[in-house]
Amino acid sequence: MPLPTPSPSKPTASKADKEVLFKGVTCALIGLVILLAPHVARSNSVRDLMSQAALVGWFALVLGIAFVAQYGMRRARAGRRPR
């Protein structure tokens, strides 16, 4: 009995690509939480503390966006490879 031939499928993201996407989304969410926290905090002390961490929030947001962009570039490059 012959073995079934695998059907051609779309290129899937490798484990490294998925990790880059996970890191990007996580960093971006952390950055957004840090940046939005002063606007939703009820306590003045928490509001002041989170306002002082704005630089960290921007860094995390930009880093997350960079990771997501790197993931997108990897996926675009993988999609253009000749088969």
Domain boundaries along the sequence of the chain: 15-80
Give residue 21's pLDDT band: very low, low, confident or very high (50, 70, 90). very high
- Say what percent of the chain tops pLDDT 90: 51
Read off the amino acid at residue 42: R
Q: DSSP 3-state helix, strand, coil percentages of the chain (rounded to 5)?
A: 75, 0, 25
User: pTM for this one?
Assistant: 0.75
pLDDT digits (tens, 9 = 90+) for 27-60: 999 999 999 998 888 889 888 888 899 999 999 9
